[in-house]
Structures are given as C-alpha cells and as structure tokens.
Amino acid sequence: MVKKLSRNIYLTLVFIFLYLPIMFLIVFSFNEGKYSGNWKGFSLHWYQELFQDQMIMNALGYTVTIAILASIISTIIGLFGAYSIFRMKSRPKQLILTINNIPLLNPDIVTGVSLMALFVFLQFKLGYLTMLMAHITFCIPYVILSILPKLKQMPKDIVDAALDLGATPLQAFYKVVLPEVMPGVITGALIAFTLSIDDFVISFFTTGNGVNNLSIAIFSMARRGISPKINALSTIMFVVVMGLLLIINLRKEKEK
C-alpha cells in the first residue's frame, strides 16, 4: 500500500514537472496583457495578432506543406524499404537494420550538418527543396520501424499462396501485403508528420534565405524577446501534436 502510494506520488510529481510549464504557456496565451506572469484578463487578442503576422503565416505554410510531402514520400519509400528488408536473409537483414537505426541514434546536429555538407557538395541551393529532402531522410527510418512489426505478424506463406493462385508479385503486394500492413503504414505516416512539424536543428542547417518553418521562426522571434504570439502559436502546435499522438496510441491499442 505504501509502495503504491509513493509510486503514484512520484508519477504525479513527474507529470507536474513535465506539463506545468506547458499549462502555464497555454493559460497565458489567452492573457490580454503583454507580459507573462501579469494576468490582465481573458482575451483572444494574441491569436488574432498571430494570424495577422505574415512571417508566421508564411512559416506555417512551409511547415505544413513540407510535413505533408515528407510524410507521404517517406511513407512510400519506407513501405518498399521495409518490405525489401523483410524479404532479405537473416545476416544482410541485420546489417541493413543496423544501418537504418543509425539516424535514430545520431544527434540531430550531426544529421543536419552532414546533410548541409552533402547539399553544398552537390551544389544544391539551400531552400525549400533541400529542407524537404532532409525531412524525408530522417523520417524514413521511423516509417520502416513502424511497418516491419506488421510484416512480421503476417502468415509466413501468405505471399507464396497468392503467387500460387495466379497473382503477379505486384498484385500480391498490393492486394495481400498492403492491406495487412496498412495500420503500420498509417502509424508511420503520422509519426513522420509529427517529427517533421517538430524539427528545428536539421531544418536550421538545410534551409536557405526566405524559407523558414515554424521552429526556425519561433527561434528568431525568441532572440528578440518572447512575444505572447509565440505562446498562442505554441499552444496550437501542442494541441495538434497531442491530437496526432492520441490517434497513434488509439490505433496501437486497436491493433493489440
């Protein structure tokens, strides 16, 4: 009884430590006053200011379009990559999986600087396209790891059975394999979308003049002093990301 109580108190303190600053940010995004910590009354003023700020709206446009494109493209590449890895023999499969896991363990700054150096070497102009390619690159490993478990859950001979019944390899993939792994595909796409929206370090190193996502825009604004518009923007981002995470977790629960 004492152990259970102490464990619950500990978990409560951990969650308070993690989420109290976020709750503080959300509450003061509705503050009529300019300064946090000085409540002047409830107002949507800073949300109105946020949507009238052209720089933030441009950054939002870049963020959303890059996140959508990166999630779609990385999901397609990750799907075929996961299926190729699944069909490999044991030894090369382990090698490829190890290589796939390296970007997950790498610090973001290493990945960002590496991609920037590659783009400069290839003489690509840093901007929207390079940021999109960078986001696709770091999203692919997460998509692969989301789809592989669903491939392993398939009956071992299901593809061979489809081929024996007259299906071509392409038909077997689209009509047999794809429906089986679709929950993993959707989960991988949602994770890729969330990671793309949230990224700062890799985006910072792979973007060019005039192309900023929300993370870079917030960083630039914060250096000049925190504006309440950032509180409003962060609140919206938090709600969106939390919604996506809830969808991912609910899908995982249904899959069990």
Three-state SS string over 123-174 comes to CCCCCHHHHHHHHHHHHHHHHHHHHHHHHHHCCCCHHHHHHHCCCCHHHHHH
Q: What is the chain's mean pLDDT, rounded?
A: 85
At CB < 8 A and 24+ separation, what contacts does 96-100 make? Answer: 100/141, 100/144, 100/145
Average the pLDDT over 167-187 and give the result.
86
Quote the pTM value.
0.82
Average the pLDDT over 100-119 and give the result.
90
How far is Cα 61 from Cα 46, in angstroms, rounded to an integer?
19
* Domains assigned to the chain: 59-213 (1.10.3720.10)
How far is Cα 109 from Cα 201, in angstroms, rounded to an integer?
6
Average the pLDDT over 99-121 and give the result.
90
How far is Cα 28 from Cα 20, in angstroms, rounded to an integer?
12
Q: What are phi and psi of 120, to 5 degrees?
A: -65, -40
- Distances 229 to 29, 38, 45, 247 between C-alpha atoms, Å: 7, 16, 9, 27
User: Of 140, 135, 137, which is closest to residue 197 (Cα–Cα)?
Assistant: 135
pLDDT digit string, tens, across residues 162-172: 887 888 888 88
Band (36; pLDDT cuts 50, 70, 90) = low
State percent of the chain over pLDDT 70. Answer: 95
Structural contact between residues 247 and 191, judged by C-beta atoms closer than 8 angstroms: no
How far is Cα 244 from Cα 248, in angstroms, rounded to an integer?
6
Band (104; pLDDT cuts 50, 70, 90) = confident
- Does residue 240 carry a pLDDT above 90? no
How far is Cα 14 from Cα 243, in angstroms, rounded to an integer?
22
Which of 69-83, 136-150, 224-238 bottoms out in mean pLDDT, i.e. has the lowest? Answer: 224-238
- Provide the CA 84 distance to its chain's centre, in angstroms: 23
Band (37; pLDDT cuts 50, 70, 90) = low
